[in-house]
Chain A
C-alpha cells in the first residue's frame, strides 16, 4: 500500500474524532500539527474529492449557516482501517528511529 501523504493523514485524523465541515477540518488540522500545517481550500477539497472517490470518507449531513450550505464529512469503516494501518506504519518507523538514536546516543556518551 502506498504511504499516505501528510495532508491526507491529517484530514483523516481530524475526521477520526467525529464528523466535521471543511473549515472545521482546516482548524483541527492546524491544531493537530501544532500550527505547522495550514490547509487551504483548494488542497482540502481536492483531497475530499479523492478520499470520497476512494470510499475513505463520506458526506454526513448538511446545515445552512448564513444562507450557505455547510456539509459535514465523516470517516468510513475503510477510512478508519486505512488510517489505523498508516498510524501503525508511522509508529513502527518512529519506534525504529527512536531506538537507533537512543543506541547511538548511549554509545556516543560512553
Chain B
C-alpha cells in the first residue's frame, strides 16, 4: 500500500481525468464544492476505468444535472424562504428610490432646458429665478424622501407626502411651483397622469409605506451607506444619459444614435444586478427588480431594431453584469483574505 500523500487540489500531480472532473464540478455552488468536491472526485476516480482520460458523456450529463438540482434547491428549496422574503422586501424598498431617480433625471433635463432658454432669450423673460426653483425642488424632495427612508421616521415620510400632495392640490401654495399650474384644479389630474409627476408622487407615497413597513426598512438599512452613496449617483447618471439621448439628439437625422438610448441605463442596472449577486438576498432582489428597473429608462424598441443591434445591446448588458459580478467576487475574496 502506498503511503498517504497529502492531496493538493489542482496540484501538478493531477491526472487529465481529474482536471476534467474538477472543471465540471466548478458548476456546483461554492459551499457545496467546499464541502463535497474532494469526496466527489474520490468517488468519480474510484469508478473510472484504468487509463481513462475523459469523463463518459453519461457522467458529464449526471454531474451537470446534479449541479442544476443543487442550485435549484438553493434557489427555491424550503431553506430559501427567508432569503426570498428579504429579497422581495429589499426590492420593494428600492423600487420607489429608483422611481424617484427616474423622476429626478427628467427634472434635471427640464431644468437644463429652462436654463438654456434663459441664456438664449434672457433671464428677464422668466418670472423670478425659475432655475433656482428647478434645481432646489428635486433636491428638497429627494432629501425628505431619503431622510424618511434612511431614518425610518414615520413623521418625516408623512410630512413629505403631505407637502407633495398640498403642492399638487393647491396651485397657489407655491410650495412646489414647478409641479403645479396657476389654473383650475383640473390641472392636478393632468399632472398626476403626467409621467414627470406621477412617479414622483408614487415614490413619495411609497417612501411613507417603507417608513411604516419594518421589513422594507430593515432590508434597506442592511445596505452599507457607502454602497448607497456609490449607486445613487450612478443611477441618476445612467437614467439622465438614457433620457438625454432622445431629447438632445435629432431623432430623425440620427436614428442610428437614438436606437442606443436604452444602453446607458441598461448598463448601470446590469452592473448593479451583478454587484448584488454576492448575497442570496441581493440575487433575489435583482431577479425581482431587474425588468421593472430596466423599464424605468427608455427601453427603446428592442423588437423593431435590427437583430444585430439588439444583440449588441443585450451583449453590453451581459458584459456589465459579468463585470459587476467579477468586481464583487474580487472584493469578497479580498475581504476573506483580510479576515
Contacts and interface: CB of A to CB of B under 8 A. Distances in A.
Do these two chains interact? yes
Interface of A: 21-23, 26, 40-46, 48-50, 53, 64-71
Given A41-B63, A42-B66, A42-B67, A68 B40 contact: no
Contacts of B62: 40-43
15 contacts: A40-B47, A42-B67, A43-B66, A45-B39, A45-B40, A50-B73, A50-B77, A53-B79, A65-B42, A67-B6, A68-B41, A68-B42, A69-B42, A70-B39, A71-B39
Contacts of A48: 36
Interface in B22-49: 32, 36, 38-44, 46-47
A40 B4 contact: no
A26 B4 contact: no
Contacts, number: 80
Contact of A66 (B4, B36, B69, B78): B4
B207 to A, nearest CB: 39
A39 to B, nearest CB: 9
A23 B47 contact: yes
A66 B73 CA distance: 32
Which of B5, B66, B79 has the most chain A CB atoms closer than 10 A to its own CB? B66
A40 B41 CA distance: 12
Given A23-B43, A26-B43, A68 B38 contact: yes
A89 B245 CA distance: 67
B66 A46 contact: yes
Contacts of B4: 64-67
A24 to B, nearest CB: 9
A70 B79 CA distance: 27
A41 B73 contact: no
The 5 nearest A-B residue pairs measured at CB: A42-B66, A67-B7, A42-B62, A40-B62, A42-B63
